[in-house]
Amino acid sequence: MKSSRIISIVHNNRELSVDTAKDLKEKLSSLGYLVSYTLEKKAELIVSIGGDGTFLKALREHNFPDIPIVGINTGHLGFFTEITPEELDYLISKYIAKDYSIQEITPIKSIICAKSSCIKIMGINEIVIKGNKSHVIHLDIYVDNNLVQHFSGDGILISTSTGSTAYNYSAGGSIIDPSLDVLQITPLAPINTNVYRSFTSSIILPSNAVIKVIPEYYFESSLVIVIDGVEHRYNNITEVGTRLANRKIKMLRLEDFEFWSRVTSKFL
């Protein structure tokens, strides 16, 4: 009789990732779990093997499922993926003993509207709004329908607390503790002259804030939208509305996980 306890494993094509996936499957199967290399709707856990990119891709390609997910790091930075391939037995023993915690993180959602239609996109770390060509772009930025800025520069980055340590940090934004549900707007190469005035530091907004970005000039309506490092190009954009999504991603964390020690080990 087959087990009803299903665990899905997703991995990239690196040799270490493939070998780790095979090893993990053998260990879990020997304990009576049904292991699949595709996402099963009835799975009780998703294991992502790779780097942070693999972890984010797994969530994105499976429409941000309501299933706990844990990462095994075979990449470089590994901020989401806290477990090494050498710790498979440790992970399994912790999981069986239920000696872990679930960290809920809130994705970011954007509605991109053209003249005739709108599309929705979602990410974990950030949305970046830039011009379609390599020149200064002018954007009107609204928060809760209040005009905050006529921005001029390379573009803006809107990040979650979880994403504050990603591109946002590289762009000069603040690191935010992930226990705080906030949005952060960080300018990218802002211009400050007698003609153009743009904010030069991040703006921190509450969890219920709605950010609306409108190209100031009609000829700048072709935009590059980057979600968690994945680039999309859109034409004739009238506005981009962004807020925190009304759902949670469940990350399985081992009991000894602590955010600020993680930051220190990865960045300082």
What pLDDT is attached to residue 254? 86
What are the tokens at 268?
């300082």
**Bridge partners (DSSP) listed for residue 71:** 48
User: pLDDT band at 226, cuts 50/70/90?
Assistant: very high
Helix (H) or strand (E) holding 150: strand 146-153
User: pLDDT band at 267, cuts 50/70/90?
Assistant: low
Tens-place pLDDT, residues 139-160? 999 999 999 999 999 999 999 9
Tens-place pLDDT, residues 26-35? 999 999 999 9
Mean pLDDT of 124-130: 96
Q: Does residue 86 register a pLDDT over 60?
A: yes
Length of the chain: 268
Contacts of 209 (CB under 8 A, 6+ apart): 143, 144, 183, 243
SS (H, E, C) 28-77: HHHCCCEEECCCCCCCCEEEEEECHHHHHHHHHHCCCCCCCEEEEECCCC
User: pLDDT band at 1, cuts 50/70/90?
Assistant: very low
**What DSSP string runs through 131-149?**
ESSSS-EEEEEEETTEEEE
Mean pLDDT across the chain: 91
What pLDDT is attached to residue 35? 97
Contacts of 155 (CB under 8 A, 6+ apart): 128, 129, 130, 131, 137, 139, 188, 189, 224
Distance of alpha carbon 171 from alpha carbon 186, whole angstroms: 7
Specify the pairing of strand 45-50 against strand 69-73. parallel
The amino acid at 211: I
- Tell me the whole-structure pTM to 2 decimals: 0.90
What pLDDT is attached to residue 82? 80
Helix (H, G, I), strand (E, B) or coil at 5: coil
Tens-place pLDDT, residues 15-49? 999 999 999 999 999 999 999 999 888 999 999 99
Give all domains of the chain, ordered by start, each with its CATH number: 6-105+248-267 (3.40.50.10330), 108-244 (2.60.200.30)
User: pLDDT band at 266, cuts 50/70/90?
Assistant: low
Contacts of 190 (CB under 8 A, 6+ apart): 151, 152, 153, 198, 199, 200
What pLDDT is attached to residue 47? 97
Provide the annotated active-site residues.
52
Q: N- to C-terminal Cα distance for the chain?
A: 51
Tens-place pLDDT, residues 163-217? 999 999 999 999 999 889 999 999 999 998 777 778 889 999 999 999 999 998 8
Specify the pairing of strand 34-36 against strand 6-11. parallel
Mark 59-74 as b/e (b = at least 16 C-beta within 10 Å). bbebebbebbbbbbbb
Mean pLDDT of 244-250: 95
